């Protein structure tokens, strides 16, 4: 079985108790040594956020602004140097978060066919063809609803999963999501891995790193994410929350996420002083209809950003749809991530390929973590289901949009808004 492999790393776990808030010294900043803007953003971030300058790791990743790095080059140019950095400089147990920057690729390619499995792959494909013929024959005989047909369909599905695993289908990933597991010695390279930091209140999964990114359609936009986050922390996040559900009533995953958006609106009203406006139909907020946007979450308009929002400094939110961060650095892209960054949002998240709905942070859970006073990257990693998969987080990892509100209310955490039963 092909695996993502690292080096043997000794992990010293935190003592029992709640995990402390992320501190600047616990961030390792990853910059592209060959792109000047990347290094400038790294030094600027460290200056603004009191991250030690020695916490900058500049790696030679090429002079071109590439979106994708091959699996082999990822291992050689990123994963191996980062692991070496942890060992050489005794960073293990001291660094909890990686910050990738403009100039660092956003996607890592797939692994290809498993070595030595070519014969097995051909056998599986032949067996799959036989099942397809059997299914077609049963349809022609009018037995499409028979037990035989259902059994053949199940066998075909199982064969296809194994074919995909050996072939390397869906082994590409967001580079940041892959880096979250860079300290793992060994794990399967196919689709996703569970995020061990999700609701890890005891801090028992220190090998999993949190990863955030300062990036966007230009280096100035990437750098500006820091300034806007700091400005919002100083004055408090003020504006209006806009949440776009769709009125889905079915008892399935789509209905579940839609109800979470409704629960998020109720949670925001009860736990913050930010006014809430909802769109509860299949329509989206129309253009120029959302002034003073501080918070946003909604769906579903894949690859077709609607310029409805006037984002305030510190605005945070995301759109639940596939492929919305593929062209993160394209200023003319109609995808939601680059378009929202260009329009002034301070923090967002999105996928670099098809992620499937169940891989998104559940909306009311993610925002409730922010409302409790946690910083951006902690809120994300307490709620995102998977690593080694397709999503990435964009924004200053230390950004605490509700820092002042949290301190004003005495540090009392809100209830989790909407949880999986």
Mean of the pLDDT values across residues 266-272?
96
- The overall average pLDDT reported for the chain is 89
Number of domains in the chain: 3
Q: Output Rg (C-alpha) for the chain, integer angstroms.
A: 22
Residue after which a domain boundary falls, among 148, 167, 186 = 167
Mean of the pLDDT values across residues 360-373?
96
227 and 124 housed in the same domain: no
**Domain membership flag for residue 201:** no
According to DSSP, the β-strands at 173-174 and 107-108 are: antiparallel
**pLDDT > 90 in the chain, percent:** 75
Is residue 239 scored above 60 in pLDDT? yes
For the stretch 46-75, what's the b/e string if a residue is b when 16 or more beta carbons lie within 10 angstroms of its beta carbon?
bebbebeeebbbbbebeeeebbebebebbb
Angstrom distance (rounded) from CA 367 to CA 293:
15
**Domain membership flag for residue 416:** no
For the stretch 245-258, what's the b/e string if a residue is b when 16 or more beta carbons lie within 10 angstroms of its beta carbon?
bbebeeeeebebbb
Mean of the pLDDT values across residues 341-348?
98
Is residue 278 scored above 60 in pLDDT? yes
Is residue 407 scored above 60 in pLDDT? no
pLDDT at 380: 97
Mean of the pLDDT values across residues 105-125?
92
pLDDT in tens, 29-64: 999 999 999 999 999 999 999 999 999 999 999 999
pLDDT at 7: 44
Mean of the pLDDT values across residues 277-303?
95
Q: Which of 19-28, 87-96, 244-253 has the lowest mean pLDDT?
A: 87-96
Q: Which of 4-18, 216-230, 302-316 has the lowest mean pLDDT?
A: 4-18
Is residue 411 scored above 70 in pLDDT? no
Mean of the pLDDT values across residues 325-345?
97
Q: Strands, E, within 39-136: which ranges?
A: 56-59, 68-69, 97-101, 107-108
pLDDT at 98: 98
**Domain membership flag for residue 53:** yes
Q: Is the dihedral of CA 326, 331, 334, 340 positive or negative?
A: positive
Residue span of the structural domain in which 131 resides: 118-167
Mean of the pLDDT values across residues 384-397?
97
pLDDT at 19: 59
190 and 257 housed in the same domain: no
268 and 336 housed in the same domain: yes
Is residue 10 scored above 60 in pLDDT? no
Is residue 16 scored above 80 in pLDDT? no
89 and 137 housed in the same domain: no
Q: Which residue has the higher pLDDT, 277 or 151?
A: 277
pLDDT at 134: 87
pTM: 0.89
**Domain membership flag for residue 148:** yes
Is residue 264 scored above 90 in pLDDT? yes
156 and 77 housed in the same domain: no
């Amino acid at each position: 079985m092909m695996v993502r492999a690292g080096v043997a790393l000794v992990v010293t776990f935190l003592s029992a108790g709640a995990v402390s808030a992320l501190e600047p010294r616990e961030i390792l900043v990853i910059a592209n040594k060959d792109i000047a803007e990347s290094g400038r953003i790294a030094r600027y971030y460290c200056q603004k956020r009191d991250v030690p300058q020695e916490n900058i790791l500049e790696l030679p990743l090429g002079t071109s602004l590439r979106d994708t790095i091959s699996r082999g080059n990822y291992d050689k140019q990123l994963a191996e140097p980062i692991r070496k950095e942890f060992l050489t400089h005794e960073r293990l147990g001291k660094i909890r978060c990686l910050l990738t920057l403009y100039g660092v690729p956003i996607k890592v390619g797939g692994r290809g066919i498993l070595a030595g499995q070519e014969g097995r792959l051909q056998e599986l494909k032949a067996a799959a063809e036989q099942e397809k013929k059997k299914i077609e024959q049963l349809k022609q005989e009018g037995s499409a609803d028979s037990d035989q047909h259902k059994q053949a369909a199940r066998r075909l599905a199982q064969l296809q999963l194994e074919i995909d695993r050996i072939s390397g289908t869906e082994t590409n990933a967001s580079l940041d999501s892959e880096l979250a597991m860079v300290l793992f010695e060994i794990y399967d390279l196919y689709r996703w891995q569970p995020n061990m930091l999700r609701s890890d209140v005891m801090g028992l999964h220190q090998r999993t790193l949190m990863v955030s990114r300062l990036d966007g359609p230009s280096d100035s936009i990437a750098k500006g994410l820091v300034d806007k986050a700091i400005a919002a922390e100083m004055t408090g996040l003020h504006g209006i929350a806009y949440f776009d559900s769709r009125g889905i009533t079915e008892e399935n995953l789509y209905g579940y996420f839609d109800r979470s958006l409704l629960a998020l609106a109720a949670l925001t009203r009860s736990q913050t002083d930010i006014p809430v406006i909802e769109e509860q139909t299949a329509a989206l907020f129309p253009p120029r209809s959302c002034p003073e946007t501080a918070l946003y979450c909604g769906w579903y308009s894949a690859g077709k950003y609607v310029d409805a929002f006037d984002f305030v400094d510190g605005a945070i939110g995301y759109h639940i749809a596939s492929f919305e961060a593929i062209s993160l650095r394209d200023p003319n892209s109609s995808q939601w991530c680059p378009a929202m960054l260009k329009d002034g949002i301070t923090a967002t998240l999105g996928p670099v390929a098809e992620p499937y709905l169940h891989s998104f942070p559940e909306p009311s859970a993610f925002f409730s973590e922010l409302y409790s006073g946690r910083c951006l990257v902690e809120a994300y990693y307490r709620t995102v289901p998977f690593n080694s998969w397709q999503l990435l987080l964009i924004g200053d990892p230390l950004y605490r949009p509700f820092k002042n509100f949290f301190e004003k209310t005495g540090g009392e955490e809100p209830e989790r808004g909407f949880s999986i039963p």
